[in-house]
């Protein structure tokens, strides 16, 4: 007698226990995840927004496509998968648990019929002597047996790695542990960013949530440097940092080296080398089209400066020696971006040692101003990622469990051997939870050796 309500709960339970749901969820997650690899995630860049229609932008925003891995429908799928794997585990675990904790220790007729591997050996020896030999043999060659006497027969049961039947559930558990770790991280951890000028000290960092966080200590950039290979490719970005507590350097955290792939951790907060730049002033002169009436112009670091004719400019990149970029030329040069008063912008290179080239460029574009590069003062800043994630150990624990679990699930099996000794006949049966072919070979060898053991002449 079941009420409709119970029926509904039953079918809901069956729904969550079904492997078809697992298949559906895994394939859906695989297909849906593609969206976020094609549509840029986070704040979409202007160039991308310019490419697609406003209607599309609105649609994508409504559907959460710009942050799809945190959208309610993606999270929902992950939750469904979690519920599904918990339900499947709960449904199947009691049966598996019984196999492990309450093994069938008697080799009865029905069990004998169900086993794929069965062999018999006849021996004229005394039952008591045989029993001892079988026990010794199994303990030495397989595993120590449980011996039971029933209905005038001796039954021996031995098993190997019964717990590996649980490995699938450990893998499922590991997924949940990883989810828990990531939740701890998002609740109690943070990610941020900080730029520090050489010689400067900071005690606050900007979080991704656009909030400022007080570190509780200070961090000073003593020096930043870039090392390069002979071919000009970057070899090392290096920040020398000092941690200060109440204005005093902390031992072991003084002049600490931070490079890419080698961060600094202090009080659970880790600083990662991420970017760098020059925040020093750039010096230019601005002249008329014929190169006359030069006026000095200073552009500070990343900011832009106004020119006499109403346009503005900022520096994209500067070098002390242009020859590595433009063979045939040499000396200092800067790549600048110029925004003219009529809303146009262009980016070009201006030189220190080639005023003619600067004039030529300006003339080609009609009117002035002519910009000449004069050099830069160097004041480097380092850009550091700042992160604290108390959930990360939990995630690694989950990963470890997953790897061990997958290994055990694929490469280990629960192997069982039953032996019955009755009226001088030894019946041996065995099975394995997986990899039956390999077990068959093990079983046959075991039977051969037992036969040799039980039928050999006594040497006394």
Partner 1 sequence: MTSSLLFNVTTFTYLISMLAFFGFLASRTKVFGTAAMIAAYFGVLTQTIAIALRWKESYDMGVGHAPLSNLYESVVFFSWTIVLIYALLDIKYKYRVIGAFVMPFALLGMAWAQLGMNNAIEPLVPALQSNWLLYHVITCFLGYAAFAVACGISIMYLLKAGSEESADKSAGTTLLAIFPPIKVLDDLNYRAIMIGFPLLTLGIITGAAWANYAWGTYWSWDPKETWSLIVWFVYAAFLHARITKGWVGRRAAWLSIIGFAATIFCYLGVNLLLSGLHSYGGK
How near is the Cβ of 395 to partner 1 at its closest, in Å?
A: 6
- If the CB atoms of residues 189 and 331 are measured against partner 1, the closer one turns out to be 189
- For tokens 């609740």, the residue is 187
**DSSP letters spanning 186-242:** HHH-EEEEEEEETT-EEEEEEETTS-EEEEEEEEEEEEEEEEE-TTS-EEEEEEEEE
**Phi and psi at residue 125, to the nearest 5°:** -70, 165
- If the CB atoms of residues 29 and 206 are measured against partner 1, the closer one turns out to be 29
Positions that interact with partner 1 (CB under 8 A) = 19-20, 22-23, 26-27, 29-30, 33-34, 36-38, 41, 69, 182, 191, 229, 231, 233-237, 259-261, 263, 270, 272-274, 385-387, 389, 392, 395-396, 399, 402-403, 406-407, 410-411
- If the CB atoms of residues 117 and 273 are measured against partner 1, the closer one turns out to be 273
- For tokens 């895994």, the residue is 26
> How far is Cα 183 from Cα 389, in angstroms, rounded to an integer?
10
Q: Give the helix, strand, coil percentages of the chain, each rounded to 5.
A: 40, 35, 25
**DSSP letters spanning 96-128:** HHHHHHS---S--HHHHHH-SEEEEEE--S-HH
- If the CB atoms of residues 305 and 399 are measured against partner 1, the closer one turns out to be 399
- If the CB atoms of residues 159 and 274 are measured against partner 1, the closer one turns out to be 274
How near is the Cβ of 164 to partner 1 at its closest, in Å?
A: 14
- β-strand 117-122 against 146-150: which pairing, if any? unpaired
- If the CB atoms of residues 236 and 288 are measured against partner 1, the closer one turns out to be 236
How near is the Cβ of 417 to partner 1 at its closest, in Å?
A: 25
How near is the Cβ of 392 to partner 1 at its closest, in Å?
A: 6
How near is the Cβ of 387 to partner 1 at its closest, in Å?
A: 3
How near is the Cβ of 34 to partner 1 at its closest, in Å?
A: 7
Q: Is 99 exposed, middle or buried (0-12, 13-18, 19+ CB in 10 A)?
A: middle
> How far is Cα 381 from Cα 199, in angstroms, rounded to an integer?
9
């Amino acid at each position: 007698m079941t009420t409709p309500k119970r029926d509904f709960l039953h079918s809901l339970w069956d729904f969550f226990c079904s492997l078809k749901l697992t298949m559906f969820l895994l394939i859906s997650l695989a297909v849906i995840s593609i969206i976020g690899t094609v549509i840029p995630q986070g704040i979409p860049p202007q160039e991308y927004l310019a490419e697609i229609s406003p209607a599309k932008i609105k649609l994508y925003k409504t559907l959460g496509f710009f942050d799809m891995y945190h959208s309610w429908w993606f999270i929902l799928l992950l939750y469904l998968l979690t519920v599904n794997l918990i339900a499947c585990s709960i449904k199947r675990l009691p049966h598996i648990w019984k196999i492990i904790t309450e093994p069938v220790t008697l080799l009865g007729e029905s069990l004998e019929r169900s086993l794929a591997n069965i062999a018999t050996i006849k021996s004229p020896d005394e039952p008591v002597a045989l029993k001892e030999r079988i026990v010794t043999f199994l303990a030495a060659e397989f595993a120590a047996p449980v011996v039971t006497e029933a209905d005038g027969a001796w039954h021996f049961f031995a098993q190997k790695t019964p717990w590996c039947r649980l490995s699938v559930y450990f893998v499922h558990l590991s997924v949940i542990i990883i989810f828990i770790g990531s939740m701890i991280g998002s609740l109690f951890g943070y990610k941020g960013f900080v730029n520090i000028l050489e010689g400067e000290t900071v005690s606050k960092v900007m979080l991704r949530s656009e909030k400022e966080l007080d570190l509780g200590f200070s961090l000073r950039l003593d020096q930043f440097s870039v090392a390069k290979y002979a071919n000009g490719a970057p070899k090392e970005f290096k920040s020398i940092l000092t941690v200060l507590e109440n204005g005093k350097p902390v031992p072991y955290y003084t002049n600490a080296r931070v490079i890419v792939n080698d961060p600094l951790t202090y009080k659970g907060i880790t600083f990662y080398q991420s970017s760098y730049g020059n925040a020093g002033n750039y010096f230019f002169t601005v002249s008329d089209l014929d190169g006359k009436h030069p006026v000095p112009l200073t552009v500070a670091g990343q900011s832009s400066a106004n020119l006499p004719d109403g346009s503005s400019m900022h520096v994209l990149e500067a070098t002390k020696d242009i020859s590595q970029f433009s063979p045939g030329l040499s000396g200092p040069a800067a790549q600048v971006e110029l925004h003219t008063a009529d809303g146009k912008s262009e980016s070009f290179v201006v030189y220190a040692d080639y005023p003619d080239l600067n004039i030529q460029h300006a003339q080609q574009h009609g009117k002035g101003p002519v910009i000449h590069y004069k050099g830069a003062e160097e004041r480097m800043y380092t850009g550091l990622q700042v992160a604290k994630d108390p959930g990360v150990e939990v995630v690694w624990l989950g990963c470890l469990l997953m790897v061990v679990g997958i290994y055990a699930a694929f490469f280990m099996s629960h192997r069982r051997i039953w032996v019955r000794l009755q009226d001088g006949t030894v019946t041996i049966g065995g099975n394995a939870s997986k990899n039956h072919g390999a077990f068959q070979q093990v079983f046959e060898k075991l039977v051969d050796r037992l036969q040799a053991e039980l039928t050999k002449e006594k040497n006394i």
